[in-house]
Amino acid sequence: MTSLPRAITLAPQSQPRAPAVSRRGARRRARREKATAWAFIAPSVLVILGLGIVPVVWSLLLSFRADDLVTPGRWVGLDNYRALAQDPNFHTAVGNTLLYSALFVPLSLLGGLALALALNRRIRFIGLYRTLLFIPFVVSAAAQGVLFSFILDPEFGAANSLLHKFGISPQGFLTDPDQAMYLLVLISLWSGVGFCVVVYLAALQDVPRELVEAARIDGAGRWRVLRHITLPALTPVTVFLLLWQLITALQVFDLVYVTTKGGPLGSTTVIVYFVWQQAFQMFTAGYGAAAAYVLALALLVAGVALRVVRRRQGRVVEGALR
Amino acid sequence: MSTRTMSNRTMGALKVSARGASWRRVSPWHLLLAPLALAFALPLVWLLLSSVMTNAEINRFPPALWPDGIDLGGYRYVLGNAMFPRWFANSLIVASVAVVSNLLLGSLGGYAFARMRFAGSRVLLGLMLATMVIPFQLTMIPTFLVMKWLGLIDTLGALIVPSLVTPFAVFLFRQFFLTLPREIEEAAWIDGCSRLRVLFSIVMPLARPALATVAVLTFLTTWNDLSWPLIAINHDTQYTLQLGLTTFQGQHHARWSAVMAGNVITVLPVLVAFLLAQKTFVQSLTSSGLKG
């Protein structure tokens, strides 16, 4: 910034005959430009890489150690991973996370697509309908959790009160190990489907009109237009949503913490909850870090697999549009 | 799709008035959409209703589904006896600092990546983008250790520092700046303005959509976060609303109306912000989503 005045004196000359600027001046300017650029990105680099890349490496190192975050730890090699392989609680957590993801991801995508198709029309109140379907998305997981703990409270909740009116016996809901996980999926769908709807609705506006009209002229019905034109055109968005919802699902934590704390009987202990418990409740941070790494690896594999699929499907879409 | 069929069939009517055509007859889709929309709204309606019920209404069996009158006891309890005002202020501080700092640092970084040439810029940008997909649980333990080392644990600083600038903000600004024509800046640049002045007096006023998107999404994520405050904060004077609400619920199982009043206070700012800026909001989500 100290060389600011020089730029002012240089500028009028450089405007009429740019090539006349000396090479030294240009070099100086390039150097100053570099310094400015670094000054601009320094805070971002520090925060993002310092609290992004560094912890990833640190976590890996931690996973080879026995560490309670307070006293100095010691190196234990692969012991944490070996212990994880035999830990029934970890197996349960992996199973629960997979069950949650296997339900939440496809249902939110299918539901989102169906709702987007239904909402993709110009009728009265359509803006209101869209707003109402989307609004739960902005409600925090903590607020959702507190709200549904109340609604689903076996004694005081509205849900049992409603069931009572229809003569159905009271349910345990989130206190019932057979129901808790499915209810968490339902709550997540209530709040999460709106995101898919919004993204699909935006994508539907980009479906090539000429194609749809041409198919209709050729005598294609609604279903065939949907199957052969709309869905293929939506494929890139679907792949994005699949990846996004999968990442979200594999990381579910807040809702579990607020509603069930992993219970009843461990039926809703998901991986992130397990990691959090190990690191900040049991003070076995190294063990928790190892568990986190196992999940990260699963995410990585899912990401790479999806990328491969995306590339292949990209070709299919191009073929369909040709 | 059927809008298309309709538009074909009623082409004449559409030419006269696009609105009139759809308003004249009631679409059968209402039969599906209205109940659905209502079902989605119902839990939130119930949240509002129960926050103005008395505990007696809630505690009888079967519990009341509609309040006899509006009782503000829950709100009085939450605002008087509990620390909700304090938590509200904490959340507001954290979210506002995060928003301002993301706008500032994100635009600086985004501008440098979009317009300036320097060694290693591609690698750095790639690394930053890569951090977007790093799951939180992988970074949470070391981030806790870093914050402890900085002496920030149990202060709002521990919540602010990690959210000072996100890769998303940097990337979004970069993408937006790339769409602006260079010529506007070049004139000012030749007149001798520094990069900083060009950015703030010429580029930023044009970047309103990007600023809105970053502000909205930063506010939403910081305001709604529970897991990081849960790890970084122990003392209840430093709680955010999400953390406060969660602990409050755990301690006041018998006072559901107060818990729901607290819940309304937690949700309301985001709902109001959403309703005021719905268009920006939805656009930000789809733009961030479709570009991903």
Give residue limits of the domains in chain A.
Answer: 1-45, 79-321
B121 in the same domain as B246: yes
Interatomic CA distance for residues B232 and B243, integer angstroms: 11
Confidence of residue B23 (pLDDT cuts 50, 70, 90): low
- B133 inside domain: yes
> How do residues B37-91 score in pLDDT, each as one tens digit?
999 999 999 999 888 988 878 777 666 777 787 888 889 888 887 789 999 999 9
Confidence of residue B257 (pLDDT cuts 50, 70, 90): confident
Interatomic CA distance for residues B292 and B289, integer angstroms: 5
- B114 inside domain: yes
Residue B8 has pLDDT above 70, yes or no: no
- Please provide the CATH number assigned to the domain covering A79-321: 1.10.3720.10
Query: Would you state the pLDDT for residue A8?
Result: 39
Query: Would you state the pLDDT for residue A6?
Result: 39
B219 in the same domain as B134: yes
Interatomic CA distance for residues B139 and B121, integer angstroms: 24
B165 in the same domain as B105: yes
- B3 inside domain: no
Find the helix or strand (DSSP H, E) in which A137 lies.
none
Query: Would you state the pLDDT for residue B81?
Result: 75
Of B18, B46, B139, the CB nearest to A51: B139
Report, as an integer, the average pLDDT of B244-267.
89
- Nearest-CA distance B155 → chain A (Å): 18
Query: Would you state the pLDDT for residue A314?
Result: 56
| Helix pair B167-179, B84-115: axis angle to 10 deg | 40
- B269 inside domain: no
Q: Please give the residue range of the domain that contains residue B131.
A: 82-251
Is B251 an interface residue toward A (CB < 8 Å)?
A: no
Q: Does the distance separating the beta carbons of A132 and B108 come in below 8 Å? A: no
- 3-state SS class at A4: helix
Q: How many domains does one find in chain B?
A: 2
- B7 inside domain: no
- Nearest-CA distance A132 → chain B (Å): 6
Query: Would you state the pLDDT for residue A14?
Result: 40
Confidence of residue B225 (pLDDT cuts 50, 70, 90): very high
B97 in the same domain as B240: yes
| Helix pair A141-151, B29-51: axis angle to 10 deg | 90
Query: Would you state the pLDDT for residue B289?
Result: 53
Q: Does the distance separating the beta carbons of A271 and B142 come in below 8 Å? A: no
Report, as an integer, the average pLDDT of B148-155.
92
B111 in the same domain as B150: yes
B183 in the same domain as B139: yes
Residue of B nearest to A290 (CA): B138
Domain containing residue B168: CATH number: 1.10.3720.10
Mean pLDDT of chain B: 83
- Best B2, B40, B213 member to test A by mutation, with max A CBs in 10 Å, is B40
B116 in the same domain as B72: no
Q: Is B268 left (phi over 0), alpha (psi -120 to 50) or beta?
A: alpha
Strand partners, A75: A65
Residues 6+ apart with CB under 8 A from A109: A196, A238, A241, A242, A245
Find the helix or strand (DSSP H, E) in which A276 lies.
helix A271-280
Query: Would you state the pLDDT for residue B69?
Result: 79
Q: What is the DSSP string of chain B?
A: -HHHHHHHHTHHHHHH-HHHHHHHS--THHHHHHHHHHHHHHHHHHHHHHHTS-HHHHHSSSPPSS-SS---HHHHHHHHTSSHHHHHHHHHHHHHHHHHHHHHHHHHHHHHHHH---TTHHHHHHHHHHHTTS-HHHHHHHHHHHHHHTT-TTSHHHHHGGGSS-HHHHHHHHHHHHHS-HHHHHHHHHTT--HHHIIIIIIHHH-HHHHHHHHHHHHHHHHH--HHHHHH--SGGG--HHHHHHHHHHH-TT-HHHHHHHHHHHHHHHHHHHHHTHHHHHHHHHHHHHH-
Calculate the CA dihedral of residues A146, A151, A156, A158 and round it to 10 degrees. 160
Query: Would you state the pLDDT for residue A17?
Result: 46
Query: Would you state the pLDDT for residue B234?
Result: 92
Q: Is the peptide bond before A177 cis (omega within 30 degrees of 0)?
A: no
Q: Does the distance separating the beta carbons of A299 and B40 come in below 8 Å? A: no
- Nearest-CA distance A221 → chain B (Å): 10
Query: Would you state the pLDDT for residue A322?
Result: 40
Interatomic CA distance for residues A295 and B138, integer angstroms: 9
B98 in the same domain as B210: yes
Q: Does the distance separating the beta carbons of A257 and B131 come in below 8 Å? A: no
Hey, CA dihedral for A253, A256, A259, A263, is it positive or negative? negative
B137 in the same domain as B239: yes
- B149 inside domain: yes
- B32 inside domain: yes
- Please identify which residue in the block is written with the tokens 């004449």: B12
> pLDDT tens string for chain A (322 positions)?
333 333 333 334 444 444 445 677 778 877 888 888 888 988 998 998 888 888 989 889 889 988 877 777 788 888 889 988 899 999 999 999 999 999 999 999 999 999 999 999 888 888 899 999 999 999 999 999 999 998 898 887 888 888 888 888 888 898 888 889 999 999 999 999 999 999 999 889 888 888 888 888 888 888 888 888 888 889 889 988 988 898 889 889 999 999 998 878 888 999 999 999 998 888 888 899 999 988 888 778 877 877 777 676 655 544 444 4
> How do residues B30-51 score in pLDDT, each as one tens digit?
888 999 999 999 999 999 988 8
Residue B158 has pLDDT above 90, yes or no: yes
Whether residue A321 contacts residue A208, with contact meaning beta carbons closer than 8 Å, is answered with yes
For the ranges A262-271, A276-285, B94-103, B118-127, the maximum mean pLDDT occurs at B94-103
Residue B240 has pLDDT above 90, yes or no: yes
B86 in the same domain as B71: no
B122 in the same domain as B29: no
B223 in the same domain as B209: yes
Q: What percent of chain B has pLDDT over 70?
A: 88
